[in-house]
């Protein structure tokens, strides 16, 4: 399988969001990546349900929803109803992770778990077979435009080993600091999905950058 590209709308132009959504619709991107922040789990606030519902109506590609929020169980049904294709929750925010993952999967939405940079991969060993995706944060979550943490490369390799060892079908997604200088190495280490925000939307040719990331 060729790796997937999921541009993050957090870096889009919110004064002209419809135009950026249409650009992604027409590009070689595979998913829309939506970063949902509550100002508690991370020190920032992004967009809520009214904006997500509008995005869902315009997007022609799957919505990859990344919940950077505490107590995500309270909102799973709402996110499912907005048309999420995949919902990822943070390991650090879920005291009953199996329960949360099953609540997502029981609604026929794909389930992912996110690990912050300091959280070791082995903590997912008991649940990895139940996951559709594991997202590794390559920056500390909360803000776009941060620099990629180099230790992420070895973490991708460790996660790939765990997936193969456990017979899991989970994809590996990398979020944070992904750009044209490191994308090839990220894929070489075993990643399946690249999230790119600032790299795409700060470019004068976003579709061209998406193409380069797709075929890096």
* CATH code: domain of residue 29: 3.20.20.70
The residues near 212 (Cβ < 8 Å, ≥ 6 apart) are 180, 183
Give the separation between CA 47 and CA 130, rounded to whole angstroms.
29
**CA 78, CA 95: separation in Å to the nearest integer?**
21
Q: Name the pLDDT band for 142 (thresholds 50, 70, 90).
A: confident
pLDDT in tens, 20-39: 999 999 999 999 999 999 99
For residues 194 and 181, give the distance between their C-alpha atoms in angstroms, rounded to a whole number. 13
The reply to whether 71 belongs to the active site is no
Measured CA to CA, the distance from residue 108 to residue 207 in angstroms comes to: 31
pLDDT at res. 145: 74
Q: Give the active site residue among 38, 175, 179, 192.
A: 175
**pLDDT, greater one: 31 or 143:** 31
Active-site pick, 35, 38, 64, 132: 35
The predicted-structure confidence for 76-97, as pLDDT tens digits, reads as follows 999 999 999 999 999 999 999 9
Number of domains forming the structure of the chain: 1
The DSSP symbol for 8 reads B
Residue 129 lies in domain = 4-214
Above pLDDT 90, what percent of the chain? 95
Please give the mean pLDDT across all residues of the chain.
Answer: 96
**Annotated catalytic residue 175:** yes
């Amino acid at each position: 399988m060729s790796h997937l590209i999921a541009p993050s709308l957090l870096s889009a132009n919110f004064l002209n969001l419809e135009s950026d959504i249409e650009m992604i619709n027409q590009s070689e991107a595979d998913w829309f990546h939506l970063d949902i922040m509550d100002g508690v789990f991370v020190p920032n606030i992004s967009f809520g349900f009214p904006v997500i519902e509008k995005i869902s109506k315009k997007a022609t590609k799957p919505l990859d929803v990344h919940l950077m929020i505490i107590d995500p169980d309270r909102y799973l049904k709402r996110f499912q109803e907005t048309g999420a294709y995949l919902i990822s929750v943070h390991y650090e925010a879920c005291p009953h992770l199996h329960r949360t993952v099953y609540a997502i999967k029981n609604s026929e939405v794909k389930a992912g778990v996110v690990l912050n940079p300091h959280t070791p991969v082995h903590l997912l060993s008991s649940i990895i077979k139940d996951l559709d995706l594991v997202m590794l944060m390559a920056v500390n979550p909360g803000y776009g435009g941060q620099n990629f943490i180099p230790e992420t490369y070895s973490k991708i390799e460790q996660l790939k080993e765990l997936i193969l060892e456990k017979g899991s079908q989970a994809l590996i997604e990398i979020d944070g600091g992904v750009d044209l200088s490191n994308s090839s190495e990220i894929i070489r280490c075993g990643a399946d999905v690249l999230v790119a925000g600032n790299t795409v939307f700060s470019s004068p040719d976003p579709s061209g950058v998406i193409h380069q990331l797709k075929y890096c």
